[in-house]
Amino acid sequence: MNVINTIFEEVKVITPRVFEDERGFFMETYNYINIKSYGIENTFVQDNHSLSVEKGTIRGLHYQLHPMSQAKLVRVIRGAVFDVVVDIRIESPYFGKWFGIELDENNKKQLLVPKGFAHGFCTLEPNTEVVYKVDEYYSPEADRGIMWNDPEIGIAWPTTDPVLSEKDKSHPALSSAEVFQV
């Protein structure tokens, strides 16, 4: 396993060891002891799985308010996404800054999204499947989001005309959103 920091020390890109032969491949996608050795101590309690049928589907930017905030460990099992995190910690010097990375079924990279970051992705291929672990259960009362194309954030999405849910169409700009405070 290889773990690297991004522009945000808390956001990690994890590349598992993959064993390939003529039959296909084997990889360990999660091992608490191994990941803990890199200082990642989240205890994941729920797995989520999404299918996005159309290329150019954006899901996000999502987060949950404290005390129900979630860390996520995200990976793609089919297709590809441009995966994005936005720092929404009001006291952070990086507040409103974003980081994006391509995750796909071939590179097998995973993204650790810590608490205090909004998360979203745009599918780069049709029929893309994303699975992710979370360390807190879903809470409808704490569920929040930020406008996907907020000019204040300026994410360089790979589409200008995404497929969006009604919920994702109605998220406020960062300047109007309830943000992460502990």
Q: Which residue in the list 63, 119, 132, 171 is annotated as catalytic?
A: 132
Closest CA to 14 of 103, 128, 131: 103
Residue 63 known to be catalytic: no
* Marked catalytic residue, from 62, 63, 119, 171: 62
Cα separation values, 162 from 56, 57, 75, 97, 151, Å: 5, 5, 21, 21, 16
Tokens 């502990």 correspond to 182
DSSP 8-class letter at 175 = G
CA dihedral 51, 56, 57, 63 (to 10 degrees): 110
Indicate if 49 belongs to the active site.
no
Q: Report d(CA 52, CA 30) in Å as an integer.
A: 23
* Catalytic residue list: 62, 132
